[in-house]
Amino acid sequence: MTTDRRAPWTADWVVQPGELLVETLADRGMSQAELARRIARPLKTISEIANGRTAITPDTAIQLERALGISAAFWNGLEIRYREGLARDRANAELGEWVAWAKRFPIKELARHRQIDAEASPRDLASQLLAYFGVSSPAGWTQHWGRAATSYRLAKSASVSPYALTAWLRWGEREADQIDVGDFDEDQFRKTLETARPLSRLAVFDTAKERLVELFRRAGVALVLLPSLPGAPASGASRWYRSGRPLIQVTLRYLSEDQFWYSVYHEAGHLITGRRGRDVLEEIDGNRETEDERLADAFARDQLIPLAPLAAFVDRGLFDRASVRTFASELQVSPGIVVGRLQHDRHVRPGQLNDLKRPLEEVR
């Protein structure tokens, strides 16, 4: 029985290929000079391969296969694993330099929500964050995430951390990837926003959330509800990602139903009133007014409470609890949404009728 000595096989260890070449030559009683003659290569080349200064190229691997009867695939695989091992050693050394960068993110909160493992070593933590963001280095994070193309609604005078904010945005993408949405249909989405208003009246908010996410999914929009992160005070963000896939991401940061529904419809307004496929970028230094924001604000207000019936209601001047409930029932929206609009437009005092607003639990 004969065995094809050139049959490819791979080693499970990482070794400098030149060391194995030297051992192979010793086993066969062959000098480096003889090998150089057999493959018609300079002795200097063989010597440099032996001491690791020169890599075994695919051409050299084939020559070694012919001269020594050991598969070219073996030599190529050995060389690849060796060079990869060196690269990983350098990469691990770099991770040590990036520990300070990793500490800038809200590690404890991300770990609490099982996005990363906070018990990992500092280097492993840096590696986890690179994988979390899908980048190869802090420089890659800066280039891709430092100016995240999205529309932000931020609390006034809030202290914003770009590290926490991008962590929250990336979390939204990861969650959106789990939602099977089709192509975006603007007409269907507009109809969805009209039919979704009655969900605000449901007694169980979790049921309303589930139905809302499903309605948006059918219209081609990924809707993600996530907890806020310290240093990331955005109540909502909207963007187009992954080849034009629309994503709306909101929190229950303000813990009242009118703010939640307004945030959802505000971000929906960005998708509809903004240029298709273009993300809106807002300065991250407070609640700065822009034309994009004004259009989204107007869209949210008119979608939740159309202007004509609101004007008629305001003209009557009756803002007692019974009147608000009746008007909300006519519009098929929650009374809390009506109260929020009346307070915003200063038809009632701040805090007046707040008992009609249902508090919401923070998403956890």
Q: What is the DSSP string of 289-353?
A: --HHHHHHHHHHHHHHS-HHHHHHHHHHT--SHHHHHHHHHHHTS-HHHHHHHHHHTTSS-TTTT
Where are the chain's structural domains? 17-97, 99-144, 146-304, 307-356
Residue 138 CA to residue 260 CA, distance in Å, equals 34
How much is the pLDDT for 103? 94
Q: Do 284 and 260 form a contact (C-beta atoms < 8 A)?
A: no
Sheet of 222-225, strands arranged across: 151-154, 234-241, 245-250, 222-225
How much is the pLDDT for 158? 54
Q: Which two tokens stand for residue 14?
A: 């990482």
How much is the pLDDT for 241? 84
CATH of the domain spanning 17-97: 1.10.260.40
How much is the pLDDT for 342? 96
Q: Do 63 and 39 form a contact (C-beta atoms < 8 A)?
A: yes
Three-state SS for 282?
Answer: coil
How much is the pLDDT for 236? 85
Nearest to 337 by CA among 300, 289, 308: 300
Tell me the pLDDT of the chain (364 aa) as tens digits: 333 333 343 444 578 999 999 999 999 999 999 999 999 999 999 999 999 999 999 999 999 999 999 999 999 999 999 999 998 888 888 898 999 999 999 999 999 999 999 888 999 999 999 999 999 999 999 888 876 544 455 555 457 788 998 999 999 999 999 999 989 999 999 999 999 999 999 988 889 999 999 999 999 999 999 988 888 877 888 888 887 889 999 987 766 889 899 999 999 999 998 766 555 533 344 455 678 888 989 999 999 999 999 999 999 999 999 999 999 999 999 999 999 999 999 999 999 999 999 887 654 4
User: How many Cβ atoms are within 10 Å of 156's Cβ, its own excluded?
Assistant: 8
How much is the pLDDT for 256? 83
Q: Phi/psi zone of residue 196: left (φ > 0), alpha (ψ -120 to 50 degrees), beta?
A: alpha
DSSP 356: G
